[in-house]
Each structure stands twice: as C-alpha cells, then as structure tokens.
Amino acid sequence: MSKPTIAGNRTGRKLGQRVKKKKLKASSRQWLQRHINDPYVQRAQLEGYRARAAFKLLEIDEKHHILKGARRIIDLGAAPGSWSQIAAKVTGSTEEDIRVAAIDFLEMAPIPGVGILQLDFLDPDAPQRLIDAVGGTPDLVISDMAAPTTGHHRTDHLRTMHLCEVAAHFAVEVLAEGGHFLAKTFQGGTERDLLALLKQNFRQVVHVKPGASRAESVEMFLLAKGFKGRKTDGDATGKTDDDAISA
C-alpha cells in the first residue's frame, strides 16, 4: 500500500509552534511541543487515523507487502486503533462480516468492522476469544504491544520481549499457511529462542525500523513472512538459519 509523501505541512498548521502553558513541567512541555509539531501526527489527523502509528504499518507494508490479499487480521495491543482502521479497510471487514479482531486492556472506541476485546492478551481466555471474534483463520497477526516502561532499559526490554514471544507462539498456533506476523520489539537484541521459533515456521524473518518510528526511539519491528504451516512433531528438524537480518 503506497503512502503519500510527507513533503510539507498539508494540515495548514504552522510547524515550529511552541507550547506556552506555564504550569507544565519542562519535560511535559517538550513532549507536547514535539507532538504537535510532528508531521506524522498532523498527517494522522488529516487522514483520519487515530494515531501516528498508522504510518509505521503503512511504511512496513510499502516495502514488504504484508497487507496485500489479507482476508482476516488479528491486532494485538491495538489501542487506540489506527492499525485496526487499516486492517478493516484492506480486508473489507464490515459489521455484518467481521474480519478483524483487536485486543487491548485499554478501552477503545468502536471501529466499524472490528471486533474489539477489552482484555489483557495474557489472559488464558484471550486466544480463543480472538479466534471467535475474527470469524475464521487469520492470515496476518500484527502486534504493537509493549509493556509499560519503568525507565530501566533492560527491564523494559525483557518485559516487551516476553509479550513479543507470547504473540509469536500465538501466531504460529493460529495463522493460515502463507500468513505473516509483525510485532514490536526493542533494540537490544531479539532472544535467540524467539528467532529460532520464527525461522522454523516462516520463510523469512527480518528486523524493520520504519521512518515513522522516531529516530530516538529504541523500538523496532520483527517481521516473519510466509508461514510454513503447522507441523507434526515428526516434521520438526530443529534446524535454523543465522540471526534475523535488518531491512
């Protein structure tokens, strides 16, 4: 899916605006100032997306074509819903024929064509409820889940990697053959066991950092393409390739 160029401010809002509220802490003022001057934030408002994160998915898709032909999509850690908006559009999901299921422990406003679960993905009932909500076998599982940050880099990395691993196991259990899996991770190294799992089950595994991801952010995305299909125990060889490459 192609995206328009960000060559200018198409919202009519002036870039370089300063936040003048005196009661804000300096750090809060800097964050707010960066946010309102962010061209991706302005594009999201202009194009009707709930968050700038929409462009991360669109940019990844522009290079890797994971949305093309998608029939059913499961969105993990979906709030506020910009990825689900895209998923509903590409699948043609409607209220009469739900093809997108989204889950988050945060409340989400309704999105036409999206079955929304306000539930922790680690809840034992969550996987089956997602399958029931999507109405069939998904061919794309996307995850923007991240654990609440503590400020301690190693702790934050491990907690988010755990969510990534659980999402990967879920994808292997539910995806249709040929399907794809995309999940947020943090710079600092992807766990070897996770890479081994993905490379045993997918034809290609890459790390991606889209342009819409802020330069100072440590987030990256782990993309596994071309699910090989579920194997019986006798089919597993245990062989893996080298570490995931960057893209």
Catalytic residues: 184
Burial of 25 (0-12, 13-18, 19+ CB in 10 A): exposed
At 49, list the tokens. Answer: 């997306």
182 φ, ψ to 5°? -130, 130
Distance CA 25, CA 188 (A): 30
Kindly report the CA angle at 50 between 208 and 94, in degrees rounded to 5? 95
Distance CA 19, CA 17 (A): 7
β strands within 124-186, DSSP E:
140-143, 180-186
At 140, list the tokens. Answer: 């794309």
The residues near 21 (Cβ < 8 Å, ≥ 6 apart) are 29
